[in-house]
């Protein structure tokens, strides 16, 4: 059997259409480009990003969640380095539907963490945080425990939004190896399929 595919590789294959010009899952490409330009301008000015919608605690929670969704690895930086939390906050500040889904979702996550472990998500241990995310990572979990259905919806939306923020950033586009529309004088063909 071949090497198992990593979560990052699965996201890469799903997001390659985004870099090729398709509409992202949550955010249209034009809005994503504008958001990343604003984020880059602020980062290059040396001014620390101040959340536009989320409270300081919610924003730190958002950063932790983005890092859990697309962590850095040996191939590239993760969602936080790519500016996904800033991207999400900036676009959420201008969209009441996103505010309801994400603001409410982070409040739900903190409340559920407090119910289970006596503290907010950020104050939980790494194992407790993993347990919380595992409970909301799969739609089938809401069938077994209807109490997590809001968390499942929230985390699904946040994963898509984080992937949009990552794969439309310079880091994400470089990770995909997307070079834009280029002319090929010849087509080298597909790479050989490895034998199993």
What are the tens digits of pLDDT across the range 66-96? 999 999 998 889 999 999 999 999 999 999 9
Contact 168, 30 (CB under 8 A): no
Q: What's the pLDDT at 22?
A: 37
- Residues of the chain with confidence (pLDDT) below 70: 1-26, 184, 196
**Number of residues that make up the chain:** 196
Rounded-to-integer distance, Cα 79 and Cα 77, Å? 7
């Amino acid at each position: 059997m071949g090497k198992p595919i990593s979560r990052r590789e699965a996201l890469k294959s799903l997001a390659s259409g985004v870099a090729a010009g398709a509409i992202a899952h949550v955010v249209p490409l034009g809005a994503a480009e504008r958001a990343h330009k604003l984020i880059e301008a602020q980062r290059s000015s040396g001014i620390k990003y101040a959340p536009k919608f989320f409270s300081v605690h919610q924003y730190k929670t958002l950063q932790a969640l983005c890092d859990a969704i697309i962590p850095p690895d040996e191939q590239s930086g993760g969602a936080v380095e790519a500016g996904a939390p800033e991207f999400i906050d900036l676009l959420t500040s201008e969209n009441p539907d996103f505010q309801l889904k994400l603001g409410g979702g982070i409040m739900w996550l903190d409340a559920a963490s407090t119910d289970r472990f006596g503290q907010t998500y950020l104050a939980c241990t790494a194992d407790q945080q993993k347990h919380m995310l595992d409970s909301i990572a799969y739609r089938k979990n809401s069938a077994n425990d209807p109490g997590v259905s809001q968390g499942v919806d929230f985390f699904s939306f946040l994963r898509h939004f984080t992937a949009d923020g990552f794969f439309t950033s310079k880091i994400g586009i470089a990770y995909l190896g997307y070079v834009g529309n280029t002319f090929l004088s010849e087509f080298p063909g597909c790479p050989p399929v490895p034998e199993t």
